[in-house]
Amino acid sequence: MIEALLIDWGGTLMADLPGHDDLPMAEWPRVEMMPHADEALSRVKERLPVYVASNTELSDGPLVLAALERVGLAGLLDGVFASLDLGVAKPAAAFFDEVLDTLGLLPDQAVMVGDTYENDVAGAKRVGLWTVWFNPGAVACPASEPLHDVEIADLRALPAAIDEAAGLAERRSPRPRRRLLRE
């Protein structure tokens, strides 16, 4: 049973705007949420706790929340796991292990959503999490054997993707099928 949603920050919840690589996102002159991030999180939050789980070179948890607050997303989150705070980054198993240990969850009780295939999907899958690949650019899967459980191109499809992952979890199928869900 899925008990929590872990979601990446840059490129998934927040737009990675060019030209600010030397500043924490909270200090950028302008920040933008990804299209429909607020709607998707609001719908998911009705059923599951939601945590940011992200690689952050310049931002600790409070700075991540400050950036999310600027676009109205901070109140939709239950917490932040920032690599700067954890001392380890995705795709390392230690990152996901620390998050799961802190939440008191087993890997198959969480679903990870993100846009970076190696960090968000492959790293989480190697630990045993359910995965949703956020692929708004419809790029070809970089893995020779796809690892993601569900693929979405629009965050409005996230609640349905979590339902799909939850259905897979309940069936405990050894080789879950992969689907592209569209809103």
Return the half-sphere exposure (C-beta side, CA atoms, 13 A cut-off) of residue 160.
13
pLDDT 10s digits, 26-76:
999 999 999 999 999 999 999 999 999 999 999 999 999 999 999 999 999
Residue 4, phi then psi, degrees to nearest 5: -160, 150
Q: What is the pLDDT of residue 120?
A: 97
Q: Is residue 88 within 8 Å of 98, Cβ to Cβ?
A: yes
Q: What is the pLDDT of residue 180?
A: 52
Low-confidence ranges of the chain (pLDDT < 50): 173-179
Q: What is the pLDDT of residue 176?
A: 47
| pTM, full prediction | 0.91
Q: Which domains are present in the chain?
A: 4-16+29-181 (3.40.50.1000)
Encoded tokens for 62: 């409070």
